[in-house]
Structure formats: C-alpha cells, structure tokens
A = this chain, B = another copy of it.
Amino acid sequence: MSILKGAALVGQSGGPTAAINATLAGVIKGCIENPDAITKLYGMRNGIEGFIAERTIDLSEMFECEKGVADEEKLCLLSQTPAAALGSCRKKLPKPAEDKAFFDNLIKLFKKYDIRYFFYIGGNDSMDTVAKLTEYLKGCDYEMRVMGVPKTIDNDLAGTDHTPGFGSAAKYIAATVSEIIRDCAVYTVPAVTIVEIMGRDAGWLTASAGLPALVGRPAPDYIYLPEVAFSMDKFIEDVKKALTVHPNVVIAVSEGVRDENGKYAGESAQSGVTDAFGHKYLSGTGKALEMAVKAAIGCKVRSVELNISQRCAAHLQSAADILESRGVGAAAAAAAVSGKTGCMMAMERAEGEYKITFAAKEIAGIANAVRSVPRSMINEEGNNVTDECLNYIMPLIQGECENKYENGLPVHMVF
C-alpha cells in the first residue's frame, strides 16, 4: 500500500476523564513519529463543533522537539492533566443520508487543511460521529482515514476489553470508598452511609467500590448496580440485616438504579431534563435512599455523591490505565498510517496473566452499543458483585503515577 500523505486532525469529545489527555498524548506521539505520512498535526478545539468553526491548534509546533521526535516531558505533563485539554463538545452529527450539506461542508474543510487522518477520542456518542463520517466518506472521492479512540470512565463501550479512563476512575472510587469506610468506622452509633457513584446504565464504576474485598480489606456491605431491578423494600431489608452485624453500614449505589418498571430510584428528585442524545439527567439517587432509610429505620444516615472527581481526579491515576491510554492513542495513529480506517482502536486481553494488545475493529457494530455488567458478575441476591467481576477490574487499577507537583499542587498543562 502506498503511503497516504497529509495532515492529521485529532479531537476529544464527550465527558472528561482523568486519562483522556494520556490518549491524546499517545495520538500526538504516534503522529509526530510517523513524519513520512503525517506532515502536521492539528487539534480541534471543542471537538467537531470547534473544527467546523475552524478553531484549531497546531499540536506539531507545540509537541515536536525535532522532526519525528515528540517532547516526552510535555507529553508526560499532558498525560497527568485531567479533562479534555483540547476542550470537548456533545454535538451529535446528522445522518449522512439526511444532511448532505453538513458533510460536504466538513469535507471542504478537510480539503482546506489537507486533513488525511482523523482521530476522535471519545465514548459511545463520539464513536457515532466516527461511524457517520466513515459512512459518508465511502461515497466521496476524498481519501481520509478515520479512527475512533475509546475513552470513557463508564467502561460501557462495546468491542474492547475495557476503556481507557475506566481504570483511573475505578482506582479513585475504590480508594475513596476505602477511606470513607475508615471514616465511618470511628463512631459506635449505628449509622448508614450511602455512596452514590456514576453510571447511568452500566454498573462498572459502582462495582469498583468492591475491589478491596478481593484482597481481604473492608468493602461496602452492599453494591447496587443498574443492571438489576432495584427494590426499595429489599434495600431496606438488606440495610436492617447489615445493622445487626455491625453499626457502620456502607452502601455503594449506582446513580442509575431503577425498579422493574424502569423508574429510577432517584426520579422523585429529578428535573426530567434530557441531554442532546436523549439521555435522562440523573441526580439524587443517594439522597432518595437516604430519605428511605431515615423513614423506615430512623437511624443516623447520610449520603455522599462522589461526583465529578470520579472523572477528573488525575492526582490518583492508575499507572496501568495511563500506560494503556497512551498506548491505544499511539496504536490508532500507527494503524491509520498502515491503512486502517473506519475503525475503533480496541484493547484485547490475553488469557491467563493480564496482558493487553491493541487491535483496530470495524466501527460499525461498536457505535451505540452499550456493554453492561453481565448478570454472571452480580450475586444472586442482586446486592453485590462476584469475584469474577472484581478479578476483571483489579488489573486495571494497578500502579501509581509519579506525577509532577509544584508548590504542593499537581501540575496541569493548559492550552
């Protein structure tokens, strides 16, 4: 195959994570180190939305220290910076068949900047963008290679063993819930603490709260995931039972738990607002459970939302996650240069000892599919996860990053 020569364009989309910039660093390194094919690397500010407004940034200039060599120190600083450094967007592209004008305009812009490589780092909705662009390009006479690079703390992307960003979020959650359990243990008065964890449809993040149990350390008494129908009555029964065993009961609950009719536990406290993709906006699940315990049991009870730190606590990145996040970005660049297009760069786990390899997979069939926690990874009662689940997650939180601090604060790269 002849080498496709031209500029590359990279963007970040969807919710931030603690590792999405590590993936950007990987793409940057992969592009800079392929100078025979990639002549220049642009970053789009605020994803595809910013690119349409021609808001770009010259990443080659910023990160190339000499032709074909990326500045490793800067890449490290970028990797330890939380939240999309290029900015993000939540723009949903129209269907190619329904808005030809939109895509023609995009192609015009690609031509203007001689963009021949397109990398989009994101979750489900971003892979939808990659799929649509791929579909449209098939009927065009413009050659451009399009690669999706996964990221999401939710770990709900299909076609990959797990997603970059999930490991760091899982580590943050497991460590923080461990600390909360210590905090709860200091008093002798019966008390229930409910920790609300992110995850609308997939319970992977909430499941991570159970990791300490796998190594014999204190973990939440119960873990409730959105994959199993939630019953408030059963929940109250569970809590009462735990209170007979010890005074400090800790619960991990996914924001997305709902009953058998699909009604969210926190729905009473909802605004009913939906985002551009039609997702219901959730909050207040922990609060709803707190009020239920207060009413039914009457003991001391509080709820804690781990909130946005779950996706931006770069100060507690998982070294395994950061290594893989950088790796998947660099692999996406290498795959595109070698001829791949219309793919997402996936991670595959070997049997036996933990080992990950990267593989480009057709984007069709990946976009818009949601990978939930399988029923086999949840206990029979539906109030905890199994060791199979924890064994799957455990390798992803291994290792600590030696991030750079200045003046007692972690250094972030802002551009």
**Interface residues of A, Cβ cutoff 8 Å to B:** 12, 16, 46, 49-50, 81-84, 87-90, 171, 174-176, 178-180, 182-183, 185-188, 211-212, 214-215, 217-218, 304-305, 307-309, 311-316, 318, 320, 394, 397-400, 405-410, 412, 414
Contacts and interface: CB of A to CB of B under 8 A. Distances in A.
Contact of A408 (B83, B188, B398): B398
A83 B16 CA distance: 31
A175 B315 CA distance: 8
B182 A312 contact: yes
A138 to B, nearest CB: 31
A272 to B, nearest CB: 14
A313 to B, nearest CB: 6
A408 B171 contact: yes
Given A178-B412, A187-B88, A308-B304, A400 B405 contact: yes
Nearest to A300: B273
Contacts of A171: 408-409
A185 B87 contact: yes
A114 to B, nearest CB: 26
A218 B409 contact: no
Given A182-B16, A397-B409, A304 B307 contact: yes
A217 B304 contact: no
A175 B409 CA distance: 6
Contacts of A187: 46, 87-90
Contacts of A318: 408
Given A89-B187, A217-B409, 12 more contacts: A81-B182, A82-B182, A175-B315, A178-B410, A179-B315, A180-B309, A180-B312, A182-B312, A214-B407, A215-B407, A217-B412, A400-B405
Nearest to A395: B408
Given A83-B185, A188-B46, A178 B409 contact: yes
B46 A183 contact: no
A174 B82 contact: no
A186 B82 CA distance: 10
Contacts of A84: 186
Nearest to A214: B407
25 contacts: A16-B183, A16-B186, A50-B188, A81-B182, A83-B179, A84-B186, A87-B186, A88-B186, A88-B187, A175-B410, A176-B309, A178-B409, A179-B312, A179-B314, A179-B410, A180-B308, A211-B407, A211-B408, A215-B409, A217-B409, A304-B308, A305-B307, A320-B408, A398-B407, A398-B408
A409 B212 contact: yes
Among A89, A316, A398, A407, max chain B CB count under 10 A is at A407
